[in-house]
């Protein structure tokens, strides 16, 4: 990846790659009773990221972090976790092994793998895929009956084996007891000097154990991310899923190809999202809203039902109440706007004083004139108004109109 950031923490659709894998595990109909997370390169950063996982994942999965030091291959990584599933073996349970760099994997695919594994009464079941270019992947070798015979790592593949395009995804289901028996037998007698997890398969086969392979229905879903180009492809696929789910739920996305919505965004029915809008993770948008085009909606923003955020507007930790609107060229940062208020074109909430962010409160039925600067922290009470170009440095009382630089109340005409 050519990055100081561990691969599994690289961002996809607003979240670390690892989070999507854990989310799929959390969505299993029966989440694993024991969850071992083996970390190697950049372990401290990876472990620190666990505190920021989405709440539903933390609630469904109780993760036991385990360090792999040094990193001596996938088999060695599983050896680090062997003691964690002793209790699973005692109950004749299964072990599911998933890689942290396969962010597109779906819970439904893992369910299908586990079901196939149990139907076959297999000691081991490998999830495989077919690819046009198998470079970098372990090749799946089948016998004359089509049964799994062995997996040859890319570094060791040559001749006809190197041309095989059915490859190992790195995702397995094992009968726990069979895996515990096989792990100590792994050898690092290979080109990389590493312990390969697929090498347990021939050991099991030689002892009459059944090993199975299940071809994934969608090869994109099980491909790993190893380069920036693959990261971009995975990001695009995840965002497409997000948009599809939103549209199925009743959100009108005018141009999905040019709309960017991250994971963890909530949008209500009959809301319209116009092209070139970016909606970041941690945003909640109600029903019947209108967003964009060219809007940037950042984390912590809430648009309540029927609110409108228009072209070239940016909102950060902002709440826009029902029937309130900011239609043109406005920056709303650290602000709460009540119901039925209008934020004029070019308005800026000046929330940062160079050291700290400050909050502004704008009430119901407020009219903010074009080009107004609201210097936080400020409170503009219900019915307050600002003239065009006003620089508001003091609170505005209910029903009062202020104008000028600095803004001062206008006297009422008799």
**Three-class SS of residue 95?**
strand
Catalytic residue among 116, 154, 252, 328: 328
By the 8 A CB rule, do 386 and 372 touch?
Answer: yes
Element at 178 (helix H, strand E): helix 176-182
Closest CA to 34 of 46, 42, 25: 25
Structure tokens at 53: 């996982």
Find how far residue 326's CA is from the centre of its chain: 29
Terminal Cα-to-Cα distance of the chain (whole angstroms): 71
Residue 110's φ and ψ, nearest 5 degrees, are -65, -40
CA–CA gap between residue 405 and residue 389 (Å, rounded): 8
- Which helix (H) or strand (E) segment is 75 a member of? helix 74-81
Cα separation, 265 vs 277, in Å, equals 13
Query: Is 189:72 a contact under the CB 8 Å cutoff?
Result: no
The reply to whether 359 belongs to the active site is no
The three-class DSSP label of residue 317 is strand
| Bridge partners, 39 (sequence order) | 67
Q: Which two tokens stand for residue 319?
A: 């709440």
Structure tokens at 65: 């972090």
381: helix, strand or coil: coil
The residues annotated as belonging to the active site are 328
């Amino acid at each position: 990846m050519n990055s100081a950031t561990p691969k599994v923490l690289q961002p996809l659709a607003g979240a670390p790659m690892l989070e999507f894998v854990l989310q799929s595990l959390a969505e299993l109909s029966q989440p694993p009773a024991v969850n071992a997370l083996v970390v190697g390169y950049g372990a401290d950063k990876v472990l620190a990221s666990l505190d920021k996982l989405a709440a539903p994942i933390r609630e469904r999965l109780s993760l036991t972090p385990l360090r792999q030091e040094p990193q001596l291959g996938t088999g060695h990584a599983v050896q680090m976790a062997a003691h964690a599933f002793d209790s699973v073996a005692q109950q004749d349970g299964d072990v599911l092994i998933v890689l942290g760099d396969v962010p597109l994997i779906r819970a439904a695919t893992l369910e299908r793998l586990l079901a196939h594994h149990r139907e076959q009464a297999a000691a081991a079941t490998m999830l495989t895929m077919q690819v046009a270019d198998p470079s970098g992947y372990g090749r799946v070798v089948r016998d004359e009956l089509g049964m799994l015979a062995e997996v040859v790592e890319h570094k060791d593949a040559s001749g006809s084996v190197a041309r095989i395009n059915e490859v190992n995804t790195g995702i397995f289901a094992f009968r726990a007891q069979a895996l515990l028996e096989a792990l100590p037998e792994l050898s690092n007698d290979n080109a990389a000097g590493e312990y390969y997890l697929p090498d347990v398969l021939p050991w099991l086969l030689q002892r009459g154990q059944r090993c199975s392979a299940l071809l994934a229905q969608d090869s994109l879903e099980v491909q790993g991310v190893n380069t920036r180009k693959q990261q971009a492809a995975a990001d695009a696929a995840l965002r497409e899923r997000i948009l599809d789910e939103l549209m199925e739920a009743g959100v009108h996305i005018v141009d999905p190809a040019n709309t960017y919505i991250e994971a963890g965004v909530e949008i209500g029915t009959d809301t319209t999202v116009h092209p070139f809008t970016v909606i970041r993770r941690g945003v909640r948008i109600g029903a019947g809203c209108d967003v964009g085009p060219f809007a940037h909606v950042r984390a912590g923003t809430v648009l309540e039902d029927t609110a409108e955020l228009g072209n070239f507007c940016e909102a950060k930790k902002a709440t826009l109440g029902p029937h309130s609107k900011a239609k043109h060229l406005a920056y709303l940062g650290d602000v709460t706007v009540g119901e039925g208020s209008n934020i004029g074109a070019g308005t800026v909430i000046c929330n940062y004083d160079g050291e700290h962010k400050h909050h502004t409160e704008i009430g119901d039925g407020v009219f903010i004139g074009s080009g107004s600067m609201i210097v936080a922290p400020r409170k503009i009470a219900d019915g307050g108004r600002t003239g065009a170009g006003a620089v508001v440095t003091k609170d505005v009382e209910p029903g009062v109109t202020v104008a000028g630089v600095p803004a001062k109340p206008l006297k009422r005409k008799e």
